[in-house]
């Protein structure tokens, strides 16, 4: 599995969490989205929206939910994910940097997550070697917004990105530099997970089902190191 992961840049993991654990994660998840008003500025936003726009968010996200609910770090789910990350990154698990995020695709109108590489969001002055473990708390089907990957895309560079809709006020990034004919969809049940390298091109469709698609993502990275000659990422410049 490790060999396949390093070849493809993504993998599917069998179910990591039992029903009780999933229920506990769902309860925390729902509470954090209900209380979004109390999250500090910047930790809750609509990936596809503009700041200050008060229309109903179509792709709301909470960054670093463990700040608001430290119990997330004491779950078996976290321990398993960190151990998997340590094996795949080939580094002592407890030395990895990490943060979580929760991405909600509301029933019926959750927006698509356009093709992107997670590393496109990161400051190029720092080397980023890492991965995300993406766990849906609901069935993740092609119709509800499971992830799609381009195998092997993690071995290339970070490709040019732009802000969704060409609007720099929108936080979400997208790229057209992707051969979608090579994409592989990864539908998985709640509590299973997909893992992807921070450079793997990925996408999730809109949610066309009658149930929400809640996803809890843990990103693990090697401690950052300065890059001698960083490649500029114009889309990040202010």
Residues that bind Ni ion (CB under 5 A): 118
215 neighbors 137 (Cβ within 8 angstroms): yes
Please list the alpha-helical segments (H only) found in the chain.
2-8, 19-34, 76-89
> What minimum distance in Å lies between the beta carbon of 23 and Ni ion?
26
> What minimum distance in Å lies between the beta carbon of 185 and Ni ion?
15
Please, which residue, 82 or 116, has the CB nearer to Ni ion? 116
Please, which residue, 24 or 185, has the CB nearer to Ni ion? 185
Distance CA 217, CA 132 (A): 6
The alpha carbon torsion through 98, 186, 61, 121 (nearest 10 deg) reads 60
Distance CA 93, CA 28 (A): 24
| Residue closest to Ni ion, measured at CB | 118
Please, which residue, 84 or 131, has the CB nearer to Ni ion? 131
Please, which residue, 21 or 152, has the CB nearer to Ni ion? 152
| H-run or E-run covering 162 | strand 162-163
Please, which residue, 12 or 24, has the CB nearer to Ni ion? 12
Q: Find the length of the chain.
A: 238
Distance CA 178, CA 115 (A): 8
**Any bridge partners for residue 220, and if so which?**
98, 131
> What minimum distance in Å lies between the beta carbon of 118 and Ni ion?
4
> What minimum distance in Å lies between the beta carbon of 116 and Ni ion?
6
> What minimum distance in Å lies between the beta carbon of 53 and Ni ion?
22
188 neighbors 173 (Cβ within 8 angstroms): no
> What minimum distance in Å lies between the beta carbon of 197 and Ni ion?
11
Please, which residue, 55 or 213, has the CB nearer to Ni ion? 213
């Amino acid at each position: 599995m490790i060999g396949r992961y390093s070849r493809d840049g993504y993998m599917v993991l069998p179910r990591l969490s039992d029903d009780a654990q999933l229920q506990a994660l769902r309860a925390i998840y729902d509470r954090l989205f209900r209380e979004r008003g109390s999250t500090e500025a910047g930790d809750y936003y609509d990936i596809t929206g503009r700041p200050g726009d008060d229309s109903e968010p179509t792709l709301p996200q909470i960054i670093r939910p463990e700040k608001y609910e430290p119990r997330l770090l004491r779950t078996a789910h976290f321990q398993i994910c960190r151990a998997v990350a340590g094996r795949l990154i080939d580094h002592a698990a407890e030395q990895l940097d990490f943060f979580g995020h929760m991405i909600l695709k509301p029933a019926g109108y959750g927006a698509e997550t356009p093709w992107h590489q997670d590393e496109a969001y990161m400051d190029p002055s720092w080397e980023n070697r890492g991965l995300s473990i993406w766990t849906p708390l609901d069935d993740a089907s092609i119709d509800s917004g499971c992830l799609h990957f381009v195998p092997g895309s993690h071995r290339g560079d970070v490709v040019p990105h732009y802000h969704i809709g060409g609007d720099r006020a929108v936080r979400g990034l997208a790229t057209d530099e992707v051969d979608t004919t090579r994409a592989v969809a990864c539908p998985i049940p709640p509590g299973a997970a997909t893992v992807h390298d921070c450079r793997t091109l990925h996408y999730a469709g809109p949610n066309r089902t009658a149930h929400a698609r809640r996803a809890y993502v843990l990103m693990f990275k090697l401690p950052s190191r300065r890059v001698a000659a960083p490649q500029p990422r114009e889309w990040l410049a202010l």
